[in-house]
Structure 1
Amino acid sequence: MSPRGVAIPDLRERLFAAAERVVARGGAAALTSRAVTDEAQCAKGVLHAHFAGLDEFVAALVLDRFSRSARGAEALADRVGRGTVADNLVDFAAALLDSLDPAVVGLAMTRPTASLHTRRALEAGEPGYAAMQESVAGYLEAEQGAGRVPGGADPHILALALVGTVHHLLMTRSPDPDFDARATCGRLVTALLGPPGRGPA
């Protein structure tokens, strides 16, 4: 347990990771301020010292994971001409699909105040699905310019279909220990791009 009054390095991430472990073990109902601070081995009042309440904390967790996924989409620009287009897209999509536990997403959707915090932050410019879609489209345009995506393909529609479908899965799927995010994203990318060598229909 961290001593009272001693600064905790990377406190936000420590609390976020603790919350994800709590939810993974016990579901959404297990997520309380006390459960998070106990899991993070922090003093009981630490969460409320940095967040207005559990709803704000849940919103901050979701926004942080959205931001991480948006950075992953931006990083596709560094992979133009490297690997295969399909593998690069699957890497991004699988990371996005694994970025949040379905129970955490459920909390953010069903707790009105958490949902409001999240929506307002996105409207104010916090990176979310729109930013991811833009980055994926930019990546596909660059690969199209390099001749690795057919000229007749529409990068913006492909990006919308990929990010939108993964968004839907992230928001609606039930917790399932046997769910294979990478395999699912592989099938999705193949449906969008076509089998290797054929390109989008």
Structure 2
Amino acid sequence: MSPRGVAIPDVRERLFSAAERVLDRADPVALTSRAVTDEADCAKGLLHAHFSGGLDEFVAELVLDRFARTARLAGELSARAGRATVADNLTGVALALLTSTSPKVAGLALARPGAADLVRRALESGAPGFAAVQDSVTGYLDAERQLGRLTEGADTASLALALVGTVHHLLMTSWAGSPDPRDQVERLIVLLCGAVTPP
């Protein structure tokens, strides 16, 4: 355990990662302040010292942090316009989104009304979430359309909605024993690109 009074670098990420490990092993009800700090091997009061709103605030911040990480990842997609294939680029970002956080983390906020309310208010105030991801995918597809790699009339906003909405659905429903979501995503991308890629 970290010695008392010794600063711990990047406390938030240490606690967030510990929470994800707890969730990987157990049901969301197992996620308690004590379980997180035990997993992080730090003082019991550390979580409450950094998240004065308690476990609800911690869960909300964890979800928002993972959403922001996902949005940053999607924001890099536009730089790939004109490189590889459209299908390869979309597959890369979609699979990265699927693995950016655990379904248990995303579902955890829904199971805790206080955390869900904090997440909703943060998203309404402009915190990056799936809407930001969708905007990034739309921007990427617009760039590919300008390069002539998508048909001129391609509805890029609807294509982005179909892809991001599907990934979000699969992320929220991909539990142990369910079909591998990667195969479903890859098949959807083939279908979408086949409809808008010039021959």
Range class of TM-score, shorter chain: over 0.9
Partner of 1:35: 35
Computed over aligned residues only, the root mean square deviation of the Cα atoms, in angstroms, reads 1.7
Q: Following superposition of structure 1 onto structure 2, how do residues 1-20 of structure 1 map, counting pairs within 5 Å?
A: 1-20=1-20
Which whole-Å CA distance do the structure 1 matches of 2:179 and 2:4 have between them? 41
TM-score by length of 1: 0.92
Give the letter aligned to residue 81 of structure 1: G
Which whole-Å CA distance do the structure 2 matches of 1:26 and 1:81 have between them? 43
What is the deviation of 1:188? 1.8
What is the deviation of 1:163? 0.9
The answer to whether the Cα contact below 8 Å between 1:73 and 1:135 also exists between their aligned partners in 2 is: yes
Partner of 2:62: 61
Deviations 1:69-94 (A, max 9, x none): 10111100111111111111111111
The answer to whether the Cα contact below 8 Å between 1:98 and 1:181 also exists between their aligned partners in 2 is: no
TM-score by length of 2: 0.93
Query: Structure 1: which 4+ aligned runs deviate by more than 2 Å?
Result: 177-184
Aligned residues: 197
Partner of 1:189: 189
What is the deviation of 1:56? 0.8
Q: Which runs of 5+ in 2 are unaligned?
A: none
Which whole-Å CA distance do the structure 1 matches of 2:138 and 2:150 have between them? 12
Which whole-Å CA distance do the structure 2 matches of 1:21 and 1:180 have between them? 21
What is the deviation of 1:148? 1.2
Give the letter aligned to residue 78 of structure 1: A
Which whole-Å CA distance do the structure 2 matches of 1:84 and 1:182 have between them? 18
Partner of 2:197: 199
Q: Following superposition of structure 1 onto structure 2, how do residues 45-194 of structure 1 map, counting pairs within 5 Å?
A: 45-51=45-51, 52-171=53-172, 173-176=173-176, 179-194=179-194
Give the letter aligned to residue 152 of structure 1: G
The answer to whether the Cα contact below 8 Å between 2:170 and 2:181 also exists between their aligned partners in 1 is: no
